[in-house]
C-alpha cells in the first residue's frame, strides 16, 4: 500500500476525533505561534495538517496567509467542510512533503505536529529537510512535534522515528537554532499515552 493510500484509508476509517493524534486544541502550537510576533499576513504552512483545529484557531487569531499541506485528500476535505466559507482564505496543497516542490523563501513559519517522525528512511528525511530549507525564509521558525523516546514505536500502524533533542537537532542540521523545547504527554482517544517532543527552531542558514 502506498503512503497516500494508507493515510486516505485512515481518514476514511474513523471520524477525526477518534484518530490517535486528535486533540480538541493544539494548545502548545497555538501558544508558541502567538508569542512569535508574526505579522497577520505572515506566511504560515502546516505540513501534514490533517483535519486538526489549529487552522480554525489561526484564522480566528487573524492570520491571513495560511497554507495546509497533506498527503490525504480526505483530511483536507474534512477540514474544508468544517471551515465552510473560511476555507476560501486558505491555500490548499495535497501532496507528499518528500515529493512536492515548495516555493523558495515562501514561509515565515513551518508547523509540523506528528508528520516528520513517520519518515524513517534517511533519504525521506533529507527530502523533507531540502523542502524545509528551500521554503522557509531565513529567520523563519520551525515548530515541530515528534514522538519522544518514551512514546510507542508505532503510530497509526506505521513505524516512527522517535527523537530526543540531540537526535532531532542532528537530523535537522545546524542551521536550525533551538529556541525552546518541551516534552508533552498526549493521550489518544483510545487511552494510549504518547510522549511528544515539541521544539521551536529559528532558521539561520
Ligand X SMILES: C[S@@+](CC[C@H](N)C(=O)[O-])C[C@H]1O[C@@H](n2cnc3c(N)ncnc32)[C@H](O)[C@@H]1O
Residues forming the site for ligand X (CB under 6 A)? 3, 7, 21, 48-50, 52, 69-72, 75, 96-98, 113-115, 118, 156
Q: What sign does the CA torsion over 16, 21, 27, 29 have?
A: negative
User: Among residues 39 and 60, whose Cβ is nearest to ligand X?
Assistant: 60
Q: How near is the Cβ of 20 to ligand X at its closest, in Å?
A: 7
Which residue is closest to ligand X by CB?
A: 48
CB of 75 to ligand X, least distance (A): 5
Query: Given the complex with ligand X, which of 37 and 153 has the nearer CB atom?
Result: 153
Nearer to ligand X, 25 or 34 (CB): 25
Q: How far apart are CA 185 and CA 95, in angstroms?
A: 29
- Least gap, CB of 64 to ligand X (angstroms): 21
Cell digits for 55?
A: 487552522
How far apart are CB 157 and ligand X at their closest, in Å? Answer: 11
Residue 46: beta bridge partners? Answer: 68, 111
**Nearer to ligand X by C-beta: 97 or 168?**
97
Concatenated DSSP letters for 141-185?
EEEEEEE-TTS-SEETTEE-----HHHHHHHH-TTEEEEEEEEEE
Amino acid at each position: 500500500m502506498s503512503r497516500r493510500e494508507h493515510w486516505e484509508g485512515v481518514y476514511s476509517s474513523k471520524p477525526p476525533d477518534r484518530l490517535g493524534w486528535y486533540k480538541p486544541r493544539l494548545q502548545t502550537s497555538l501558544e508558541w505561534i502567538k508569542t512569535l510576533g508574526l505579522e497577520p499576513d505572515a506566511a504560515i504552512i502546516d505540513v501534514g495538517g490533517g483535519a486538526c483545529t489549529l487552522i480554525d484557531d489561526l484564522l480566528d487569531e487573524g492570520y491571513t496567509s495560511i497554507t495546509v499541506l497533506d498527503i490525504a485528500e480526505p483530511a483536507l476535505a474534512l477540514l474544508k467542510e468544517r471551515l465552510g466559507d473560511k476555507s476560501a482564505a486558505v491555500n490548499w496543497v495535497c501532496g507528499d512533503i518528500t515529493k512536492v516542490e515548495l516555493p523558495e523563501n515562501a514561509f515565515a513559519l513551518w508547523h509540523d505536529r506528528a508528520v516528520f517522525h513517520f519518515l524513517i528512511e534517511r533519504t525521506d528525511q533529507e527530502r523533507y529537510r531540502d523542502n524545509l530549507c528551500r521554503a522557509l525564509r531565513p529567520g523563519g521558525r520551525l515548530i515541530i512535534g515528534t514522538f519522544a523516546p518514551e512514546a510507542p514505536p508505532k503510530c497509526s500502524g506505521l513505524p516512527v522515528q522517535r527523537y530526543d533533542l540531540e537526535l532531532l537537532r542532528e537530523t535537522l542540521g545546524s542551521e536550525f537554532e533551538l529556541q525552546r523545547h518541551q516534552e508533552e504527554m498526549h493521550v489518544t482517544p483510545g487511552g494510549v499515552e504518547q510522549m511528544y517532543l515539541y521544539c521551536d527552531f529559528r532558521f539561520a542558514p
